[in-house]
Amino acid sequence: MNAVSPDLDLDALLDDRETRIIVCCGSGGVGKTTTAAAFALRAAERGRDVVVLTIDPARRLAQSLGLTELDNTPRPVEDIDTSAGGRLHAMMLDMKRTFDDIVVEHADKGRAEQILSNPFYQSLSASFAGTQEYMAMEKLGQLHARGEWDLIVVDTPPSRSALDFLDAPNRLGSFLDGRFIKILTAPAKVGGFGAFKLLTSGFSMVTGALGKLLGSGLLADVQSFVNALDTMFGGFRERAEATYRLLQAKGTSFVVVAVPEQDALREASFFARRLAEEKMPLAGLVLNRVHPRLTDLTVERSLAAAEQLDVPNPTSAQSLAGGLLRLHAERVELNRREARYAERFAASHPGIGMLRLPAQAEDVHDLDGLRAVTGAAQSAA
């Protein structure tokens, strides 16, 4: 007997006023950005006051929403149907600007200027592994704290792994107060030149080796940055923990986005288990780019009919008909394979709702395209 997932009722999820945050997560390349934008648009046109946060470097979301650009500030989306009383804002995470804003907000003016001008900070804020995911968490916390919208839709970063979004705060926090950083800050923490002379020769050997490895200029930049940022360490952890609790709270719903392929559904399965372990609410699986079966014509009958058209000197109509029949047979086989993958997921995760979004004939590039994504949604029958 085939395993069947219950339906994920998208409109019920979007209409539920207790739902304040929807997080679209999944591995890279599965359509999280388009899904998040389509969900946000549908919610707004059903009466919700929505902001969608994307972390997509391709900037497709701006084009789809009819905006010339997106940045770190929520911008209103025009030309949506506001008859139900909803509105829509959209923004794109600017990782470095978000980091800069944190520094300015949580450090006095002199210390903030010292941090912002530090070469090591400038590199860290722009490219350190995990910074983008951490800043996405920070921005989510900021949007929620403002209280201007009754629904926040989050498109998580296009990471190697869908788990990076949840792991980033701990990784960044571990770096900032790890053993390496403690070694670098030791001179400042023990109190001035007199105390510095009391440091062991072992510490001098360590910093000397680091100086040779990194270069004395870079090492000095790192030490200067860490000492200036020292008072903010606790704030990083506190905000990360607060946002983590927000993700666990009632009113937050995760949707795992995947395509009907083996690797993507394996990643989705792993992520669903991780969410359960972290006690984070999973609304269901969005199976994107599904190829539905359009007719009841079987593979066998299609191929048999195509063979009958393989005659010497076939007419153009016969050639076209034979090609279409073979194409249909390939489509049915693809549909069967996708159904098997979906059934395996359902068997491993009974009770998790599933929503199928059919593959679009062309890339989504405007509001009508976004409407078509959710308008053609199919339940997991």
Q: In sequence order, what DSSP letters do the residues of 259-291 get, joined into one string? A: -SSHHHHHHHHHHHHHHHHTT--EEEEEEEEE-
Predicted pLDDT of residue 55 = 76
Given a contact cutoff of 8 angstroms between Cβ atoms, the answer to whether 303 and 329 are in contact is: yes
Pair 261, 311 in one domain: no
Whether residue 68 is found in the same domain as residue 133: yes
Please enumerate in sequence order all residues whose Cβ is within 8 A of that of 342, keeping only pairs 6 or more positions apart, or say none: 5, 260, 265, 287, 354, 380
Tell whether 90 and 134 lie within a shared domain.
Answer: yes
Distances in whole angstroms, Cα of residue 287 to Cα of each of 89, 262, 272, 277, 341: 26, 12, 14, 22, 11
User: How many Cα atoms sit within 13 Å of 203 on the Cβ side?
Assistant: 14
Query: Quick one: which H or E segment has residue 23?
Result: strand 21-25
Sheet holding 21-25, edge to edge: 75-76, 87-92, 49-54, 151-155, 21-25, 252-258, 282-290, 354-358, 378-379
Same domain, 107 and 153: yes
DSSP 361: S
What pLDDT does 269 receive? 92
Residue 253 belongs to some domain of the structure = yes
The pLDDT of residue 74 is 92
In-domain check, residue 171 = no
Q: Number of structural domains, the chain?
A: 2
Question: Cα separation of 258 and 198, whole Å?
Answer: 57
CA gap 178, 167 in Å, rounded = 16
Q: Report how far apart, in Å, the C-alpha atoms of 130 and of each of 124, 173, 297 are.
A: 10, 10, 49
| Whether 85 and 99 share a structural domain | yes
260 and 309 in a common domain: no
Residues 303, 158, single domain; the answer is: no
39 plus 110 within the same structural domain: yes
351: domain CATH number is: 3.40.50.300
What is the model's pLDDT at position 100?
82
Q: Do residues 58 and 131 both lie within one domain?
A: yes
Q: Is 260 a domain residue?
A: yes
Q: Is residue 230 part of a domain?
A: no
Distance CA 86, CA 38 (A): 15
How do the pLDDT tens digits run along the chain, 381 residues long? 466 678 899 999 999 999 999 999 888 888 888 899 999 999 999 999 999 998 765 666 677 787 777 788 899 999 899 999 999 999 887 777 877 887 787 777 877 787 788 777 777 666 655 667 777 788 888 899 999 999 999 988 765 555 666 776 666 555 555 554 555 555 444 444 443 343 334 334 444 444 444 444 555 656 566 665 555 555 666 777 788 888 889 999 999 999 999 999 998 998 899 889 888 899 999 999 999 887 888 888 888 888 888 878 788 888 888 888 888 888 888 899 999 999 999 999 998 999 999 988 888 888 998 999 998 774 433
Residue 60 confidence (pLDDT): 67
Q: Is residue 67 part of a domain?
A: yes
pTM to 2 decimals?
A: 0.79
Classify residue 211: in a domain, yes or no.
Answer: no
Same domain, 126 and 89: yes
The residue range of the domain holding 370 is 10-166+235-294+342-379
Do residues 254 and 317 both lie within one domain? no
Question: Which pLDDT score, from 0 to 100, does residue 230 have?
Answer: 55
**Number of C-alpha atoms within 13 angstroms, CB side, residue 290?**
28
Query: Does 187 fall in a domain?
Result: no
Domain-located, residue 4: no
Residues 266 and 314 in one domain: no
Tell me, what's the pLDDT at 234? 56
Report which of 70, 53, 272 is spatially closest to residue 155, judged by C-alpha positions.
53
* pLDDT of 194: 43
* Whole-number pLDDT of residue 225: 61
Q: Is 215 left (phi over 0), alpha (psi -120 to 50) or beta?
A: left
Query: Helix 216-229 crosses helix 109-116 at what angle (to 10 degrees)?
Result: 150
